[in-house]
Amino acid sequence: MKITMVVFDGVQALDVAGPLDVFAEANTFLTADQQYEMTVVGLHAGMVTCSNGMALHVPNDYSSHPEKCDLLLVAGGPQLPGSKPDHAFLAWLQEQAAQAGRFGSVCNGAFLLGHAGLLDGRDATTHWSDAKLLAEQFPLTRVVPDKIFIRDGRMFTSAGVTAGIDLCLSLVAEDWGHELAVRVAKRLVVYIRRDGGQSQYSPYQAADLEEVSIVGKVLKFVTEHISETLSVEQIADAVGVGRRTFSRVFAKDAQVTPSVFIEQVRIDFARKLLEETDVPMKTIAYRCGFHSATHMRMIFTRRLGVTPMQYQQRFHATEHAEHA
């Protein structure tokens, strides 16, 4: 099975190495006629410098690589959201995707697929911090920001960096069965399937908003009164805006309703306590304004796809230090 990985100057090294290592490990369990054959293709041949400064030797440039592949993957990189790809490269990408059995992207490599018109009318995801921009640049794409990876027909897109490993483990499972994918995951010491979506990894984006904006004022007020029961009327009064005007203006600026915003702030406070302390669940729920530990568990499960206990087990600072 032939795999083509597309790279470029400034590529995220792990977007390349992670997925390819999944297939390389799978090869150790496969017979000679079952092997994954991996080729790295660049915008130019020779040395490619990754975003972390590491150099990759790329034997083939895209223009001299017309060979069909079974799987075409485009890696991501920090500069992609603002880049303008070459038309000749995009034409090649379109042709390769049309001929490939499957194609897709790792992290914000989705932007290259978008520029090539390959995301039009499809469900896609990318790193949570780039999801809004992806939707703005490619309005014909249905961006699903909270997925670790997503499939739409022959196309696969994935979230940030290590999500490329999750994606490729799923492809190995599709090709050779779940048991082999589990064996590969064990070799790489990673989860065969991570619970929840990207929300469990991303901090609330309003945290950096200036206090002069209505969203910033609300964030400040909610933060200072996080343990209290807060009504929309109370918050509107606190920021000096009428109830009807407040709900309309806030939803426009924050892209969520006030109640959803408050719930997310409570979740973020709870996450911080779960990560940094050993405070009992009931106490965390009280401090963060949830009705009870049961209520907090219900909100976490609905919004993050994991329970507070699961979140703490995964992200607690003490556990990270012990396994570092």
User: Taken in order 166, 170, 171, 172, is the CA torsion positive or negative?
Assistant: positive
Per the rule left: phi > 0, alpha: psi between -120 and 50, beta: everything else, 121 is: left
Looking at residue 50, its amino acid is C
Beta strands in 75-217, from DSSP E residues, in sequence order: 102-105, 123-124, 142-143, 149-152, 155-158
Catalytic residue annotation: 107
Strand 123-124 versus strand 142-143 pairing type: parallel
How far, CA to CA in Å, does 66 sit from each of 3, 32, 49, 63, 307?
A: 13, 24, 24, 7, 48
Indicate the SS3 state at residue 71: strand
Residue 255, both tokens: 């892209």
What contacts 312, CB < 8 A, 6 or more positions away? 274, 275
Indicate the SS3 state at residue 134: helix
Angle, helices 243-254/258-276, rounded to nearest 10 degrees: 60
Paired strand residues for 6: 41, 74
**25: exposed, middle or buried (C-beta count within 10 Å: 0-12, 13-18, 19+)?**
buried
